[in-house]
Amino acid sequence: MVEIGKKKLDSGWIAARSTEVDLNGVQLTTTHPPSTTDLSSPWIEAVVPGTVLGTLLKNKLVPDPFYGLNNETIIDIADSGREYYTFWFFTTFQCALLEHQHVDLNFRALNYSAEVYVNGHIRILPKGMFRRHSLDVTDILHPDGQNLLAVLVNPPDHPGKIPPQGGQGGDHEIGKDVAAQYVEGWDWMTPIRDRNTGIWDEVTIFVTGPVKIVEPHLVSTFYDNYERAYLHCTTELENRSAWAVDCSLNIQVTADLEGNFCLVEHLHTQELSIPPGSCIQYTFPPLFFYRPNLWWPNGMGKQSLYTVVITVDVKDYGESDSWSHLFGFRKIESTIDEATGGRLFKVNGEPIFVRGGNWILSDGLLRLSDKRYSTDIKFHADMNLNMIRCWGGGLAERPEFYHYCDIYGLLVWQEFWITGDVDGRGDPISNPNGPLDHDLFLVCAMDTIKLLRNHPSLALWVGGNEQIPPDDINIALKNNLKLHPYFESMGGVSNVSKDLLPATDDPSLYLDGTRVYIKGSMWDGFANSKGDFTDGPYGIQNPEDFFKDSFYQYGFNPEVGSVGVPVAATIKTTMPAQGWKIPVLSMQPEGYVKEIANPIWEYHKYIEYSNKGLVRYQIDLYGEPKDLDDFCEKAQLINYIQYRALLEGWTSRMWTKYTGVLIWKTQNPWTGLRGQFYDHLHDQTAGFYGCRCAAEPVHIQLNLDTYFIEVVNTTSKELSSIAVEASVWDLDGTCTYYEVTDSLAVPAKRTQIIVEMMYPKSENPKPVYFLLLKLFNTLDYAVMSRNFYWLHLPGGDYKLLEPYRAKRLPLKISSKVSITNSTYNVQVNVQNSSRSPDFDRLMDRMNHGKRQIENNSAFKKMLAAECKKKHVGLLGRIYRHLVSSDDGLKVVEVDGTDSGVAFFLHFSVHAANRDLQEEKDTRILPVHYSDNYFSLIPGETMPVNISFDVPSGVTPQIQLHGWNYSDGLSISIY
């Protein structure tokens, strides 16, 4: 018997332009099949899943559209006509069925419509980019198992034209179709020339017996403060045979345990009889769980997942079909917060302060992969974010995306395919009535809901971006996505008072029933709730402004954005030498310094590091950049400050003014130069680590407006027995200010002001200085949060940091590596082994119960104030702990005679044995770092974990660069 289940058809495809093929689909799949091994014109190797443009790129028939200005040389569908990007895709597949077996040919998505031919038989796939197609091909398969498949894929009906001025969504014609709207270009993206035509999601064949399992729906409910839970499940069963069948329907729920073991939590069997050729719906009795392991968002707890397996066994046949899914027990509630007016989310009864990002898609050419999704979502978790918004001009994201959001705890806001720019405003004015075919839109929406609804990470549905759908679509979505009464909440208290719900009211009978539907991204608790374009702003801001009460007036900002230039290596890899020229400055009459970027940067949507009338040119704060490397390094300093301040400013007003914020945007689906925490090549900017720092669940921060030190506690537990340490260091490595505030407690889910950082008000403060904040547990001196700032006095700048580069500070670097298959895990400890000029005296004073508080004009003279005799200097204790034995690690010592802060250190991983020509990029990407772009005071050590996969035949090498180490240091890992 052929094994039941799914088989992907993701290799062996060839493609050809339809105008170059003289045969029809019947001939291609009967008498004149093209050879998949003898590629001759017009047939070429195809990318499936993928797009026509991806196939052309794979065969080097077009240049890389993401490199330099190459995209301008690729013919646009508006100029070529739709036929130019209408392609045949052809493959063969092996499938020979036994008696009573059935097989479906499944297309999870394609763009935009298609004719499918299997062994000479035609099936027409209707229009729509976001719908699944399932074809029963049981009766047309060849007895010998050798089958021919040809698919003629047509582009969107309204691909549109690109106006000379570009714009949001081109001429907006794409909005007439139910398709991704970004493809005509945006202010962060150039046009995709084929409009993503192709079989862009997986193709599979799926074998079953006489009975097929269809669209199971899983829902959990809770009682007694989450002590008791019930798993509800409804599924459809389709009898594909010509006779009535008796079958056993089974559901099994297991929990993974340590050591590759699993615990069977539930096993339930139901005997059923299904009439011939019919489809029935069956709802299981609710399955009871006592104290189940709950699924929590990132930063709130563990992402516990159970495996649910549903099987159907047919009498006198055996197992007919099987379905499995990871399931998380959790309850999401969403209301408008009375205190702030912002939308409030609760997970398992606990309010969650949302700090997340806007997501476009992983790759503009839809080169989507499990590995890329895994990296993308882990990056978001590494940044301590807890929500991703799937923007309406992009995709209904794929199950693989949601799988990793389930794994890493990222709540997902999923929008449907409406944007204000393309569906009601813009230049030219777009169609306010949405797509031409409203029924098609709803078909795609209903199918998308069924595809994604079982994922615990999915938090809410939204009708559109900065726009609401047309009335009929909006009403239909609202009705279809109505909440089950159990999930209708008011202040988090369920309206359902009865214990177990009757079977006729089982929540798994709803299309979804568990998540709210909001009609648009600026309505009902988002922005000003009225759709008046009160999201943003999108340019660079003065860091202190994020903390001011006047900065943003509404409780939840769905979009606020800023800069995002990547590292120099990325620019050199994605642009020719003409694109390595840094912006030229132009003084405008009103005193505004404007950046004039080179044409390639302009094409890649560069956003300035100044903001007319608001923010002075930030790069210049560090001195005029000499070249691309210098410019990009200084840009990273600003990226770090900008995004840390953004999130810290929002968190400073947690629950008193704000309920959440989503940054526009976290990533780039192409090689853009704005609004990103990591680039398209998967290398992080320093903004990534500024965000990571600021979004810690427990965090210490400096309010840049008031200069009060604040402790943020987003967790559900009170922080007690904690202390705050603030130390200021000058450019000579002298500690000029030291203060400890102890015996502190911070309530759960609270941002609490601790003490003012008085150094700027002291006598003769330094114009540029470093501030290190640490939050300690006083019971064991464990560091709960660490935050390092470089600061200047009001009205000043950072130009004194330029000569600081000449300092030669000694470093001690130890490393230890473990290798599993091709994955390297490296533990690195970096120690600033310099000693401040007053180090011994500072340690002596601390260990005798003294607290250093401020300095006078002399560099080395210290003024000390008496502190409590019971307090021993935390800095001294932690220092002695961190410089303990190397424990067999490989050690590299870097000589240096100066003392000071080792400033802005950052790792990168390279292929040591790759061609090292200057124009070649030797980086190994992606890499996961536990921290990067960090600074160390004298005597301090930073442990960093580094993880990456190494291509076959490549020897990796870790390098460390920094403000004081521009030439870089190689770190031994062997």
Which H or E element spans position 855?
Answer: strand 850-855
Marked catalytic residue, from 559, 608, 854, 940: 559
**Rounded distance between C-alpha atoms, residue 468 and residue 767, angstroms:** 51
Any bridge partners for residue 649, and if so which?
none
- Widest distance between CA atoms in the chain: 97
Give the amino acid at 902: A
User: What SS3 class is residue 728?
Assistant: strand
Q: What is the DSSP letter of 1?
A: -
331 and 296 Cβ atoms separated by less than 8 Å: no
Beta strand 811-820 pairing with 782-792:
unpaired
209 and 311 Cβ atoms separated by less than 8 Å: no
Tokens 């490549």 found at: 954
827 and 928 Cβ atoms separated by less than 8 Å: no
**Rounded distance between C-alpha atoms, residue 497 and residue 864, angstroms:** 63
**Rounded distance between C-alpha atoms, residue 389 and residue 774, angstroms:** 32
Beta strand 902-911 pairing with 5-8:
unpaired
The terminus-to-terminus CA distance of the chain in angstroms comes to 51
671 and 574 Cβ atoms separated by less than 8 Å: yes
Residue 658's nearest CA partner among 646, 643, 668 is 646
**Rounded distance between C-alpha atoms, residue 638 and residue 619, angstroms:** 7
**Rounded distance between C-alpha atoms, residue 772 and residue 332, angstroms:** 38
Tokens of 765: 């403060």
Could you confirm whether 559 is annotated as catalytic? yes
Residue 695's nearest CA partner among 738, 663, 735, 737 is 663
Q: What is the DSSP letter of 783?
A: E
* Bond before 286 cis per omega within 30 degrees: no
Encode burial over 875-892: b for 16+ CB neighbours within 10 A, e otherwise. Answer: bbebbeeeeeeeeeeeeb
Three-point CA angle 363, 466, 534, nearest 5°: 115
**Rounded distance between C-alpha atoms, residue 463 and residue 368, angstroms:** 25
Beta strand 44-45 pairing with 14-17:
antiparallel
The beta strand positions in 328-482, using DSSP E, are 332-336, 343-347, 350-352, 354-359, 387-390, 411-415, 458-462
Which H or E element spans position 151?
Answer: strand 146-154
Beta strand 146-154 pairing with 956-962:
unpaired
The beta strand positions in 155-292, using DSSP E, are 203-208, 211-223, 228-239, 245-257, 261-274, 279-283, 287-290
**Rounded distance between C-alpha atoms, residue 559 and residue 420, angstroms:** 14
**Rounded distance between C-alpha atoms, residue 816 and residue 825, angstroms:** 8
970 and 961 Cβ atoms separated by less than 8 Å: no
User: What SS3 class is residue 377?
Assistant: helix
> Which residues are CB-neighbours of 198 under 8 A, at least 6 positions away?
47, 48, 49, 50, 51, 52, 53, 54, 55, 87, 89, 110, 111, 153, 366
CB atoms inside a 10 Å sphere around CB 462: 27
Marked catalytic residue, from 466, 739, 854, 940: 466
Q: What is the dihedral of CA 525, 529, 531, 536, to 10 degrees?
A: -70
**Rounded distance between C-alpha atoms, residue 621 and residue 616, angstroms:** 9
Catalytic residue annotation: 466, 559
